[in-house]
Amino acid sequence: GEQVEQLPSILRVQEGSSASINCSYEDSASNYFPWYKQEPGENPKLIIDIRSNMERKQIQELIVLLDKKAKRFSLHITDTQPGDSAMYFCAARATGGNNKLTFGQGTVLSVIP
Amino acid sequence: NAGVIQTPRHKVTGKGQEATLWCEPISGHSAVFWYRQTIVQGLEFLTYFRNQAPIDDSGMPKERFSAQMPNQSHSTLKIQSTQPQDSAVYLCASSWGGDTQYFGPGTRLLVL
């Protein structure tokens, strides 16, 4: 089945700088790549997603890039704020009628004021 | 819209006891997913229903875990003879068409 690797596991950045999280996947049939943000004690919340027919998507300070050839996708948070501190998960969904998501291991992002 | 509802939010059981977790998907969503989250394993897929029918249970430990969706408004995950290694946060998610999955608050299960 699909496997997703996510790096780094821990990321500390200064407020106002950019943060980047990288994920790679194995199944070339995967066609949907969501990113979730999870704060302590809370459920994961979708923050942005990208489908395989796109290479780049931006929602405000969030940018996701998808490189299908390399089977990699990434999340970039520009102008980070303390409120961006949380756990972030990438995920991939393969085609074939099964909509289950395979998640990366997560990245703990700390934005230092 | 209340979002995905999961009950109970916390459950403590003794080793060997049974635990039943409940999920109410967002109204109108046809797909329900169960995931398990631990520090060590991260977020793991357990099982998936579409229009109440079981589609994929490849993530379910076969012997003690079972899931059902008797109607479109709720799904249950049952763990028999619970073991300490079953301790985790069990997350239910629902989806309208299969893409965007909305997660519930989870049930934190602790097996002593």
Per the prediction, chain A carries an average pLDDT of: 94
Contact A75, A66 (CB under 8 A): no
DSSP letter string over A37-49?
Answer: EE-TTS--EEEEE
Q: Give pLDDT, residue A2.
A: 85
Asked if the model's pLDDT at residue A17 lies above 70, the reply is: yes
| CA–CA min distance A15, chain B (Å) | 27
Q: How close is the nearest chain B Cα to the Cα of A69, in Å?
A: 22
Does position B62 have pLDDT exceeding 90, yes or no?
A: no
Taking a C-beta distance cutoff of 8 angstroms, is the pair A38, A18 a contact?
no
Q: Is B104 on the interface with A (CB under 8 A)?
A: yes
- Tell me the pLDDT band of B1, cut-offs 50, 70 and 90: low
* % chain B with pLDDT above 70: 98
For chain A, positions 52-91, list CB contacts with chain B under 8 A. 89, 91
Per-residue tokens: B14: 């003794």
Q: Do B105 and A42 touch (CB under 8 A)?
A: yes
* Residue B52 pLDDT > 80: yes
How many other C-beta atoms can be found within 10 angstroms of the C-beta atom of residue B72?
16
Tell me the C-alpha distance between A59 and A76, whole Å: 11
Chain A nearest-CA residue for B4: A43
Reply yes or no on whether the pLDDT at B99 is more than 70: yes
Phi, then psi, of B86 in degrees rounded to 5: -80, -10
What is the arithmetic mean of pLDDT over B10-24? 97
Q: For residue B108, name the pLDDT band (cuts at 50, 70, 90).
A: very high
pLDDT at A70: 97
pLDDT at A97: 58
Residue type, B10: H
For residue range B65-92, what is the model confidence (pLDDT) as tens digits? Answer: 999 999 999 999 999 999 999 999 999 9
If you ran DSSP here, which 8-state letter would residue B110 be given? E
- State yes or no: pLDDT of A80 exceeds 80: yes
Cα angle A18-A24-A27, degrees, rounded to a multiple of 5: 150
**Token pair 């229009």: residue:** B51
Query: H/E/C letters for each residue in A47-104?
Result: EEEEECCCCEEEECCEEEEEECCCCEEEEEECCCCHHHCEEEEEEEEECCCCCCEEEC
- State the pLDDT confidence band at A94, using cuts at 50, 70 and 90: confident
pLDDT, residue A96, reads 64
Geometric angle at alpha carbon A32, from B78 and B73, rounded to 5°? 35
Choose, out of A31, A42, A43, the residue to mutate when testing the contact with B (most B CBs < 10 Å).
Answer: A43
Question: Mean pLDDT highest for which of A40-44, B12-16, B54-58?
Answer: B12-16
Q: What is the pLDDT of residues A38-77, one digit of tens each?
A: 999 899 999 999 999 999 999 999 999 999 999 999 999 9
User: Which of A99, A103, A108 is the best substitution to test chain B (most B C-beta atoms within 10 A)?
Assistant: A99
Please give the residue of chain A at the shortest CA–CA distance from B57.
A100
